[in-house]
């Protein structure tokens, strides 16, 4: 049984003022594996005060000092990659290869920020003015459970690179990962107060951070509903806000696509991170005349997609993170059936061959609906599980119209054997990222959403500038 009863404030592990105990589960077995003592609003205030005290000195450091810090943080997190992989499997249930990637990603984002910092110029000219990119102040960083360690490190990396100090509120459901990351970052030896980590509930710790007048900036990743409430909460003190929210990403299979490659790629895009991914390609848009071919290929690809024990290397889809999430996904499968979508694969209940009853983990059958129209609930709402919708289209114009007919705009995929044509389609898609014939990530490119998928960008220079304010100094140079 894991007992986590400390948070991290002002460079030290301390007992929270909050007294609430929160249970951690292994989603593959539905068994309790730990207890976390949660921080409360008073802890959040202490953390904010520590970050505020640290800001004047830290914001004045040379970027070479901060780059060296980021490199130490990278080394320290990388050294804990095995522990972190184990924690991701145990408390989140990501399949082993994904868990390993998530642990390495958490370390890599720190090094990427250091490299960016080395080449980033904080000073530039605009006419006769000197423009100085200036750190915003104390940043509040709030993360979700589906990539907790990665977002702690990614957001903190950008804040540190910019010269901001930080108060981090990780997901309360990811406390094992948070403990390992905190221990590693402590080893990196940053000045006290530069970063503080307070695991607690969104309604208490999160709410305090998003309303506190000493917090200048919020970087939040999570649901669109909570993102909107954070924007409202931050309005009173005009906080700068970066929101990375939900998605309902389209996968456009063009009529010239090599289906033997495109269909497995589309399913991989949809089932990524066990379907618990904001970037998941959950709407697969298929030319009507090739629908039968796509369905046959999709059926056989799903048959080969194993949902089960995350420790088994053959597993592609792990359990849902919680009972609540499992029930949510089941509800959407039921809605899909009730609204008249055709079940091509999967369906309600647990996958075959896994423990049932009280021993059952929160596993979902990989599910693909076909004959979906874009106005059905399963095509409009983010399900956050391995449930995909195949939507037939008439021609390219209609495909683009369907792709854009959504409140979201985080990511899109275009699959075609003609790169120039795919590029032209990509130009017309309303999304922050369009991936052509690939699932690869580019850490130097900005990441974030159009429309209700968010505000602002993370990663690369755009992500860094989200923690900076340009200050123009005039009168230094003749015009």
Which positions lie near ligand NAD, rule CB under 6 A? 142-147, 169, 171-172, 202-203, 206-207, 210, 221-223, 226, 229-230, 244-247, 278, 382, 384, 410, 449, 454
Instruction: Note if 164 is an active site residue.
Output: no
Residue-wise DSSP of 410-438: SEEEEE-S-HHHHHHHHHT--SSEEEES-
Strands 367-370 vs 387-393: parallel, antiparallel or unpaired: parallel
The 10 Å Cβ neighbour count of residue 391 is: 23
Residue with smaller CB distance to ligand NAD, 147 or 330: 147
The residue from 86, 91, 172, 244 that is catalytic is: 244
Q: Give me 348's structure tokens.
A: 């309600």
Q: Which is nearer to ligand NAD, 143 or 177 (CB)?
A: 143
Q: How far is the CB of 329 from ligand NAD (least distance, A)?
A: 13
**Between 163 and 247, CB nearer to ligand NAD:** 247
Whose Cβ is closer to ligand NAD: residue 285's or residue 321's? 321
Task: Give SS3 for 75.
Answer: helix
Measured distance CA(87)–CA(84) in Å, rounded: 5
Instruction: State yes or no: is 278 an active-site residue.
Output: yes
We find the least distance from the C-beta atom of residue 453 to ligand NAD, in angstroms, to be 6
Catalytic residue, candidates 86, 153, 278, 458: 278
Beta carbons of 348 and 326 less than 8 angstroms apart: no
Distances (CA, A) of 324 to 30, 114, 328, 459: 12, 39, 6, 31
CB 421 to ligand NAD: min, Å:
28
Round to whole Å and give the CA distance between 256 and 241. Answer: 41
CB of 41 to ligand NAD, least distance (A): 11
Q: Name the E strands within 232-384.
A: 240-244, 249-253, 281-287, 342-345, 367-370
- 406 and 381 in contact (C-beta within 8 Å)? no
Burial group, residue 398, by CB count within 10 angstroms (0-12, 13-18, 19+): middle
- Give 93 or 163: the residue with its C-beta nearer to ligand NAD: 93
| Catalytic residue annotation | 244, 278
């Amino acid at each position: 049984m894991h007992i986590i009863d400390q948070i991290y404030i002002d460079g030290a592990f301390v007992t929270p003022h909050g007294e609430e105990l929160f249970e951690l589960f292994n989603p593959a077995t539905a068994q309790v594996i730990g207890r976390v003592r949660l921080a409360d609003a008073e802890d959040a205030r202490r953390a904010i005060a520590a970050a505020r005290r640290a800001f004047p000195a830290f914001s004045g450091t040379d970027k070479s000092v901060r780059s060296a810090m980021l490199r130490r943080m990278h080394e320290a997190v990388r050294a804990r990659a095995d522990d972190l992989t184990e924690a991701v499997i145990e408390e989140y249930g990501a399949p082993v290869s994904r868990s390993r990637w998530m642990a390495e990603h958490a370390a890599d984002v720190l090094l990427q920020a250091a490299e960016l910092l080395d080449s980033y110029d904080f000073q530039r000219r605009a006419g006769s003015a000197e423009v100085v990119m200036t750190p915003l102040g104390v940043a509040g960083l709030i993360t979700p459970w589906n990539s907790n360690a990665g977002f702690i490190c990614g957001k903190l990396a950008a804040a540190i690179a910019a010269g901001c100090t930080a108060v981090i509120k990780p997901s309360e459901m990811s406390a094992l990962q948070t403990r390992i990351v905190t221990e590693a970052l402590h080893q990196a030896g940053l000045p006290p107060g530069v970063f503080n980590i307070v695991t607690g509930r969104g309604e208490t710790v999160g709410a305090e951070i998003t309303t506190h007048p000493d917090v200048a900036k919020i970087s939040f990743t999570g649901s669109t509903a909570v993102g909107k409430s954070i924007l409202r909460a931050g309005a009173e003190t005009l906080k700068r806000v970066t929101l990375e929210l939900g998605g309902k990403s389209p996968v456009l299979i063009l009529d010239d696509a090599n289906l033997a490659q495109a269909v497995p790629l589309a399913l991989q895009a949809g089932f990524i991170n066990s379907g618990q991914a904001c970037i998941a390609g959950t709407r697969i848009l298929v030319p009507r005349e090739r629908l039968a071919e796509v369905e046959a290929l999709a059926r056989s690809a799903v048959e080969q997609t194993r949902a089960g024990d995350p420790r088994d290397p053959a597993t592609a889809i792990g359990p849902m993170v919680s009972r609540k999430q499992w029930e949510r996904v089941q509800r959407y499968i039921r809605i899909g059936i009730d609204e008249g979508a055709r079940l091509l694969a999967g369906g309600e209940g647990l996958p075959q061959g896994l423990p049932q009853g009280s021993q059952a983990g929160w596993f979902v059958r990989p599910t693909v609906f076909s004959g979906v129209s874009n106005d059905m609930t399963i095509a409009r709402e983010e399900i956050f599980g391995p449930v995909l919708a195949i939507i037939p289209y008439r021609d390219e114009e209609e495909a683009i119209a369907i792709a854009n007919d959504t409140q979201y705009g985080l990511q899109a995929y275009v699959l075609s054997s003609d790169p120039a044509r795919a590029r032209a389609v990509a130009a017309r898609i309303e999304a922050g990222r369009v991936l052509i014939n690939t699932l690869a990530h580019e850490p130097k490119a900005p990441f974030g959403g159009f429309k209700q998928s968010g505000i602002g960008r993370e990663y690369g220079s755009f992500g860094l500038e989200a923690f900076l304010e340009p200050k123009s100094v005039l009168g230094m140079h003749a015009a």
